[in-house]
Amino acid sequence: MSHHGSPPRSGLRLMHVHAHPDDESSKGAASTAMYVAEGVDVHVVTCTGGERGSILNPKMDRPDILANITEIRRQEMERARDILGVTQDWLGFVDSGWPEGDPKPPLPEGCFALVPLEEAAAPLVRLIRELRPHVVTTYDERGGYPHPDHIKCHEVTVAAFEAAGDPERYPDLGEPWQPLKLYYHHGFNRPKTQAIHDAMLAHGLESPYTERLRDWKPEPDWDARITTRVPCSDYFGVRDQALLAHATQIDPDGMWFAVPREIQEEVWPTEDFELVVSHVPSQVPESDLFAGITDPA
């Protein structure tokens, strides 16, 4: 079912908590754009500035860009934010980087992943109390992929979701507010990847996922954790524009754009989430992050 013609959903508030600038465009961006179009107030929280992000687009790999990467990533974020129609806050932590080598080197001093949880959750508690979202989303406990900042983002969001409504916790950070639902993104799930891979081959196209699927052991129990599939294929184009705004991170000729949008729309027209905590009665499976929230006041 699609939500066309449904009344504007003003008064509803959604908060996505992400690790780096560009995550808001690569995870859940089409449903974000759809909710914005329906009148939901969507706020993105970005834990770090992406300072240690490498330049992943060969066309942008220039010394002048690398020297100013923090500022350039802020500008990219502003463009993506405008395209998606969201408001956004930086939590102000420093990117931990992706540890490379065997054994992995220690994480850089002062980075987000090393900040004690109580301290790292505080600015998010403050924002939750200030902005009063009804729904909060973040990554699963594996981080979606095991980047130290993604795992830390998960931990911080779960902790802040619980603490924000508790008057005993962080008493100086504003009036308590308890969001009603907490979700994890399941954007890179195996069934979706397999379905798109099969469709590419069926159309006589080369699949970008051949190697990944070969090494990806099926985990039916993990896949079964998806509770909520939000139909949002009308907004895949907006998602793509938001991704392209992160020009240092996204190669327009790379894997993100290897699958024709028509195939994506036909094979997997949803973005997928796992409902983890709900303080309202809601039946799963769902097709809407706000299912069960009847009175936004």
The one-digit pLDDT tens for each residue of the chain (297 residues) are: 555 555 579 899 999 999 999 999 999 999 999 999 999 999 999 999 988 888 888 888 888 888 888 899 999 999 999 999 999 999 999 999 988 888 888 999 999 999 999 999 999 999 999 999 999 999 999 998 889 999 999 999 999 999 999 999 999 999 999 999 999 999 989 999 999 999 999 999 999 999 999 999 999 999 999 999 999 999 999 999 999 999 999 888 888 899 999 999 999 999 999 999 999 998 999 999 999 998 776
Mapping DSSP onto H, E and C, the string for 87-145 reads: EEEEEEECCCCCCCCCCCCCCCCCCHHHCCHHHHHHHHHHHHHHHCCCEEEECCCCCCC
Domain ranges in the chain are 13-188+225-278
Q: What is the pLDDT at residue 297?
A: 65
- Report residue 52: phi and psi, to 5°: -100, 10
Q: Give the Cβ contact number of residue 67 at 10 Å.
A: 10
Q: Has 279 been labeled as part of a binding site?
A: no
Q: Has 149 been labeled as part of a binding site?
A: no
Q: Which fold has domain 13-188+225-278?
A: Rossmann fold (3.40.50)
Q: What is the pLDDT at residue 7?
A: 53
User: 286's torsion region: left (phi>0), alpha (psi -120 to 50) or beta?
Assistant: beta
Q: What is the pLDDT at residue 98?
A: 86
DSSP 138-182: E--TT-SS--HHHHHHHHHHHHHHHHTT-TTSSTTS-S----SEE
- State how far the Cα of 142 lies from the Cα of 144, in Å rounded to an integer: 5
- State how far the Cα of 265 lies from the Cα of 269, in Å rounded to an integer: 5
Q: Has 150 been labeled as part of a binding site?
A: yes
Q: What is the pLDDT at residue 101?
A: 83
